DNA sequence: CACTTTTTTCAGAGCTTATTGAAACATATG
DNA sequence: CATATGTTTCAATAAGCTCTGAAAAAAGTG
């Protein structure tokens, strides 16, 4: 196949999206598959993905599953054959909502729980500590409390955004831009 | 040293913060050093960091420098000796501002540039494309445009927040929570 | 239910990234 | 400016993460 500007552009996008994913803690291949499906005009099957990205069946399967788990892509069944096809969420706002909700659930909420536990461990003044150490413990406890406060607020904000949907997010950003300057 | 609840709690926090960093594309050690300094009640020197985290001098030096580059920690000079001490930004809101600004600058802005380039490559209808492919290219171009629109808006929002500072962020979140429900 | 097609799993290979430790480089001191 | 103290660099190594490929499992078909 001759490389048209279209194909060339798409390849560039897929590669670059993969690199970005990598710096955000998403495996390069998973991000590439996502980019491939996001820029596809029809659902692709596992073999399509394998061929376009030059990856093994196992790798494709694993990463497709992860993308399904994230809710970033969906299964589509064809009438013609018995393969499973995949399709990405194409609305970028919805995509953002899904990602931020999932990261919140998987990574932020667990760290909040940990910090709560850490805070509980130093909450009541201990008799086993010297005066100096007790003072340090209080400073430490206050910082944890501030971090908790912050993370909980982010959690709330994220939930609100998730509820708000596309229109809501746009509205918020517009309010935001006026409210600040 | 007997492990007080304080020390135990702090170790847990440092470990957990490191793990979280890792899932967000920040090296475990860098995040651990950051947590250690964030929870410290006095500035620490390289040897303190090495000892507390059981890491080599080179590793400590490299990661401390990276944290300095991010603007998450600062050098402090002691009168007593000629060592350099390090201190973390202790205001979580400021910390968040720094991180989001840096990620924007390092990772989001470059991907915006790439997508602009990708979009330019398929902007004008090509004569080398068949009718079917031209149609696909148009769908693709539209998706890129939507993505660009979204990322630019995020960029704007992030810049606004950066300008707004702590008070501003709080205010925005409060507006946000009212504006949505 | 026997057979075909498609998908998933996972142990080992391969690759990327992080870490060490020692040498080179800075900087302060008398 | 010689020496001591502290910091950075970087090649070699280690650790961790990703990918492959083939075998097992699952799903579809007549």
What was the pLDDT predicted at A131? 84
What was the pLDDT predicted at B163? 79
User: Alpha-carbon distance B152 to A170, whole Å?
Assistant: 12
- Sign of the CA dihedral running B115, B121, B124, B126: negative
What was the pLDDT predicted at B176? 72
Does B3 score more than 90 pLDDT?
A: no
Q: What is the mean pLDDT of chain B?
A: 91
Question: For residue A125, which of A141, A112, A113 has the smallest C-alpha distance?
Answer: A141
- The residues, ordered by sequence, that sit 6+ positions from A162 with a Cβ below 8 Å of its Cβ are A97, A100, A101
Does A1 score more than 70 pLDDT?
A: no
Cβ(B119)–Cβ(B146) under 8 Å? no
What was the pLDDT predicted at B181? 61
Q: A31-77: per-residue pLDDT in tens? A: 999 999 999 999 999 999 999 999 999 999 999 999 999 999 999 99
- The residues, ordered by sequence, that sit 6+ positions from B122 with a Cβ below 8 Å of its Cβ are A5, A6, A9, B137, B140, B141, B144
Question: For residue B104, which of B157, B63, B56, B55 has the smallest C-alpha distance?
Answer: B157
- Tokens matching residue A115: 């910090």
Burial class (CB in 10 A: 0-12, 13-18, 19+), B170: middle
**B2 or B116, which is more confident?**
B116
Of A129, A143, A175, the CB nearest to B38: A143
Q: What mean pLDDT is predicted for residues B95-99? A: 92
Q: Among B23, B95, B104, B135, which would you mutate to test the A interface (most chain A Cβ atoms within 10 Å of its Cβ)?
A: B23
The answer to whether A139 faces chain B, any CB pair under 8 Å, is yes
Q: A145-180: per-residue pLDDT in tens? A: 999 999 998 888 888 877 777 777 777 777 777 776
What are residue A137's DSSP bridge partners? none
Q: B109-126: per-residue pLDDT in tens? A: 999 999 999 999 998 777
Please report where in the chains the tokens 């004008």 appear, as a residue.
B124
- Sign of the CA dihedral running B1, B6, B11, B12: positive
Cβ of A45 near strand C (under 7 Å)? The reply is yes
Cβ(A48)–Cβ(A37) under 8 Å? no
The answer for A 27-46 residues in CB contact with B (under 8 A) is: 38-39, 41
Does A83 score more than 60 pLDDT?
A: yes
Does B153 score more than 60 pLDDT?
A: yes
**B167 or A82, which is more confident?**
A82
Does A82 score more than 60 pLDDT?
A: yes
Secondary structure (H, E, C), A79-145: CCCCCEEEEECCCHHHHHHHHHHHHHHHHHHHHHHHHHHHHHHHHCCCCCCCHHHHHHHHHHHHHHH
Q: What mean pLDDT is predicted for residues B68-80? A: 94
Q: Among B2, B3, B4, which would you mutate to test the A interface (most chain A Cβ atoms within 10 Å of its Cβ)?
A: B4
User: Alpha-carbon distance A119 to B42, whole Å?
Assistant: 19
Q: B19-63: per-residue pLDDT in tens? A: 999 999 999 999 999 999 999 999 999 999 999 999 999 999 999
The lowest-confidence range among A116-120, B49-53, B98-102 is B98-102
User: Alpha-carbon distance A125 to A128, whole Å?
Assistant: 9
């Amino acid at each position: 196949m001759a490389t048209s500007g279209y194909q060339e552009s798409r390849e560039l996008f897929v590669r670059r999206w993969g690199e970005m994913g990598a710096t955000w803690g998403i495996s390069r291949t998973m991000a590439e598959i996502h980019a491939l499906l996001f820029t596809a005009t029809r659902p692709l099957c596992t073999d399509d993905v394998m061929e376009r990205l030059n990856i093994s069946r196992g790798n494709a399967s694993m990463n497709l599953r992860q993308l399904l788990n994230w809710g970033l892509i969906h299964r589509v069944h064809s009438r013609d054959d018995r393969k499973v096809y995949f399709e990405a969420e194409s609305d970028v706002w919805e995509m953002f909502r899904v990602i931020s909700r999932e990261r919140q659930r998987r990574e932020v909420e667990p760290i909040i729980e940990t910090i709560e536990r850490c805070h509980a461990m130093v909450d009541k003044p201990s008799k086993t500590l010297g005066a100096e150490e007790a003072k340090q413990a209080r400073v430490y406890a206050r910082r944890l409390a501030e971090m908790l406060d912050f993370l909980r607020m982010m959690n709330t904000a994220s939930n609100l955004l998730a509820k708000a949907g596309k229109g809501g997010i746009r509205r918020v950003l517009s309010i935001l831009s006026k409210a600040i300057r």
